[in-house]
Amino acid sequence: MSALAFDVAAVRARFPALAGPTALLDAPAGTQVPQTVIEAVATYLRESNANLGGVFPTSRRSDALIEEAHAVAARFLGASPAEVAFGPNMTTLNFALTRTLGRELGSGDEIVVTRLDHDANVAPWLELAHDLGLEVRFADVHDDCALDLAGLESVLGARTRVVAFPWASNAVGTLTDVRRIAGLAHDAGALAWVDAVHYAPHGPIDVAGIDADVLLCSPYKFFGPHLGLAFVRRELLERWRPYKVRPAPDDPPGARLETGTGQHELLAGFVAAVEYVESVGWDAIRAHERALGERFLAGLPDGVTLHGLSTMEGRTPTFAVTVPGLTSTEAAVALAERDIAVWDGDYYAVEIMRRLGLRDGAVRIGFVHYHTEDEVDRVLAELARLAP
């Protein structure tokens, strides 16, 4: 679907949840799902529900689904099927992956994270540092919430083993120069460890193109069910010793990270979600989202404070704002009373909220391609009503 042919009404008709009166502007916390995803989950449970490795039809269909899901994940990420793994969520996957890498780390080794990160790409490293005597260093941001690349480079050193960073901030929407950061990490002899959870609904991912070693994302943020998805470069998978039960297969390498029985029905939904995204197309998605973001920024009331970049250059259409005289929760409640769903608090973006001095967090308003100009105008009008 080209940008010129983009029909937001037709897109919205594919999402049952969007038929209601509420403007669901909470997309950074999880997007809605199209009917095809719902049907895929139900169809699996109705027709193929079984464990893997059996000789009977439902088990064989489940085996085929697992193979298809890995192939689709590889296509979505620009990887090979052997390099992808599913889990219950990104956080759980990241704790497992960092623990696995920890077997190669020792006291005095250093991990670099950023003030833009969601805590799921900070806390696992802090816990590992606690256990192994590692040092965690933070790369700061500029006042406009853009990552300070010179500052990041200055904290890299001979003992740096990992540079963990977000492709996009889930709090203030900032995009990072992932290819450059990965290059800086590799120049220092470190791994490039990318959190792509917030970026994934907004643009294409190519792990080879950005030279990532590890990348994680969450299908429920790009119109799918609640899952986590990881890419790990094959050479690392083959070298690492993962935590797993003894009968679990060693090949393909990514399967060693998938401990226990997976959520097969959700993998069926994941396949349908990727097919949905492909049916719309990234060009159309990005063009429509940029237009929504520009409309929001142009109409933001004077009394409302935006935290982050003031144009759509270098950002996603995710906006953190504060309203004078109201906590983020009070503002979110007031918007909810007008059928507008937004998020309040820190949304696990602990470091950026501290950096901005926002003890009560901020109101997060997030648009994706199924939102409309009318929804932008609705939230702007209500913000103007709340602002003094």
Q: What is the mean pLDDT of the chain?
A: 96
- Residue 375: the pLDDT is 98
User: Which one, of 378, 299, 289, 281, lies nearest residue 27 by Cα?
Assistant: 289
The CATH number linked to 358 is 3.90.1150.10
- Residue 5: the pLDDT is 66
- Tens digits of residue pLDDT in 119-170: 999 999 999 999 999 999 999 999 999 999 999 999 999 999 999 999 999 9
- Tens digits of residue pLDDT in 69-89: 999 999 999 999 999 999 999
- Tens digits of residue pLDDT in 195-234: 999 999 999 999 999 999 999 999 999 999 999 999 999 9
Q: Write b or e for each residue in 219-246: b if 16 or more Cβ atoms lie within 10 A of its Cβ, otherwise e.
A: bbbbbbbebbbbbbbeebbeebebebee
Are 77 and 207 part of one and the same domain? yes
**43 within domain boundaries:** yes
Q: Which domain range does residue 340 map to?
A: 8-32+281-386
Instruction: Give the end of a domain, one of 246, 276, 306.
Output: 276
**132 within domain boundaries:** yes
Are 99 and 18 part of one and the same domain? no
Band the pLDDT of 251: cuts 50, 70, 90.
confident
Are 46 and 15 part of one and the same domain? no
Are 232 and 350 part of one and the same domain? no
User: Which one, of 17, 309, 270, 282, lies nearest residue 141 by Cα?
Assistant: 309
Percent over 90 (pLDDT), the chain: 94
**339 within domain boundaries:** yes
User: Which one, of 118, 105, 204, lies nearest residue 162 by Cα?
Assistant: 105
Which contiguous run of DSSP H or E holds residue 58? helix 57-77
Task: Decide if pLDDT at 250 tops 90.
Answer: no
Are 111 and 124 part of one and the same domain? yes
301 preceded by a cis bond (ω within 30 of 0): no
- Residue 388: the pLDDT is 79
**333 within domain boundaries:** yes
Are 217 and 313 part of one and the same domain? no
